[in-house]
Amino acid sequence: MIDLEGIKNILPHREPMLMVDRVIDLVEGDYIVAEKTISEEEYFIKGHFPKMPIVPGVIIVEAIGQVSGILIYKTAGLEGDQTERSAGFAGVDKCRFRSPVFPNETMTITVKIDKMNNRICKLIGSVSVEGMIVTEANLTMVNNNPLNQIMDKY
């Protein structure tokens, strides 16, 4: 289990763009399960859409990306100062939105490593709410220094 402060020690993201509340399961080099509870006060809820608020798809994909980042950094043994590292999106494939996510719901974000080398990490992600898959996406993340050398072992 990793709480919010632990997540902030791993990711460079901060509110309002931090899209992970807690990590509930993680096996380095394999998979991660994390959660994000959507508040009615989230900045994106107020305008998307005022009469029927839902979480924008891009925010859901961002949550998958951030959870992927935690898995990558934990696998590489990197925590603490984030100034000399970055892992960013290189691609999103096979993204499907099956159902909307509403305020006061908790997204469970699951990411599994598919392939990893010294520069690229391919991941399979899904988001569920109350056990129902609402979004699926395959991500490609590019690893920048100092991840290049560390992640070459996987």
Question: Is residue 79 classed exposed, middle or buried when 0-12, 13-18 and 19+ CB atoms within 10 A define those classes?
Answer: middle
CB 106 within 8 A of CB 35: yes
In the chain, the N- to C-terminal Cα span, in Å, equals: 23
Q: Which residues contact 81 (CB under 8 A, 6 or more apart)?
A: none
Per the residue annotation, which of 8, 22, 48, 119 is the catalytic one? 48
Bridge partner list, 34: 23, 109
Is 13 assigned a catalytic role? no
Catalytic site residues?
Answer: 48
